[in-house]
Amino acid sequence: MNVLVIGGAGYIGIHTVKALLEAGHTAVVFDNLSTGHQEALARLPAPVPFIRGDVTRAEDLERAFKEHPVDAVMHFAAKSLVGESMQHPAAYYHNNVLGGVTLLECMRAHGVKTLIFSSTAAVYGEPEAVPIAEEHPLRPSSVYGRTKRMFEEMLEDYRRVYGLRYAALRYFNAAGADPGGALGEDHDPETHLIPIVLQAALGLREAVTIYGTDYDTPDGTCIRDYIHVSDLADAHVLALEVLSQGAGSGAYNLGNGSGFSVREVIETAERVVGRPIPVKEGPRRPGDPAVLVAGAEKARRELGWRPRWAELETIVRTAWEWHRAHPQGYRTARAGAPPLD
């Protein structure tokens, strides 16, 4: 299929573009490069057309739909930081909600009826029980989570009235890097735990600060379900294929179903890098639930999804190989620094 990938130059988007190409699909990447990296496209196994555009601008989207055949859309373009969303809600409603509707309207104008959407575990809020099933009530505790829930609601209305076919994929904690070494995580500023731990291991930052040691968990630190980015990418391709074969629309959790505390992640990273990592203890980060673990049976059952890099150690190892070889992210490649691996 010909897939238009909105936000395809970002971390999860580019790994998914690679998975699409490997599965025999074609892709066009549309990205405003606010957080994505055009350099990443040169590291794909085949050339992919690139359109620099913004999902909130209908005229930018029009270009993509006019210039390329589009059978389906994958939508990754969103602002995605919980803390920032609480400080700057307008930017989140603008990008994630207005951008989403603009995209849906463009798809409708061009008769494109299949959409795979990046949703998030943040739609659930503080869980009543773990693992969290898709039927769990949606009570997001952040603006970010609310924008994603709103868009999921719109998808359901577009399905009912306009015949949209969609999958809303609720990611737990995306981590790791392309096992082939070509692609990885490169955020500026970086806020995610695993890259921060590895940057501390590389001496690129003084230490990793643990946000809260007084949670009601066995070691007092937050528990999360880390899922390899290439496993997430595979789930997008499967969702696309299953939808195009006539499966019903809906939401799917994507996680491994096992939780690891912040301390366990740091210990795993110390094993992978083979040395101690400097750690500080700090206060809780507002908006962080104590435990988030996915019940991901639905994706296994209905999409046939089988995570290939499920072990935390494997996830951290692939991330380590990327960060070690690209301490400045994709800029390292541009500067021509010799790879370490």
For ligand UDP, the binding residues (CB under 6 A) are 82, 173, 191-193, 196, 208-211, 222, 224, 262, 285, 288
- Minimum distance from CB of 226 to ligand UDP (Å)? 8
When the beta carbons of 103 and 177 are compared against ligand UDP, the nearer one is 177
When the beta carbons of 95 and 114 are compared against ligand UDP, the nearer one is 95
With CB atoms as reference, the residue minimizing the distance to ligand UDP is 222
- Minimum distance from CB of 297 to ligand UDP (Å)? 22
Residue type, 176: G
- Minimum distance from CB of 270 to ligand UDP (Å)? 15
- Minimum distance from CB of 208 to ligand UDP (Å)? 5
- Minimum distance from CB of 285 to ligand UDP (Å)? 5
When the beta carbons of 77 and 262 are compared against ligand UDP, the nearer one is 262
- Minimum distance from CB of 167 to ligand UDP (Å)? 20
When the beta carbons of 4 and 193 are compared against ligand UDP, the nearer one is 193
When the beta carbons of 106 and 223 are compared against ligand UDP, the nearer one is 223
Query: For residue 227, which phi and psi values (nearest 5 degrees)?
Result: -130, 135
When the beta carbons of 67 and 126 are compared against ligand UDP, the nearer one is 126
* CA–CA dist 58, 40 (Å, integer): 25
Q: Which of 11, 92, 124, 144 is catalytic?
A: 144
Count CA within 13 A, CB hemisphere, residue 253.
27
Is 330 one of the catalytic residues? no
Q: Write out the catalytic residue numbers.
A: 144
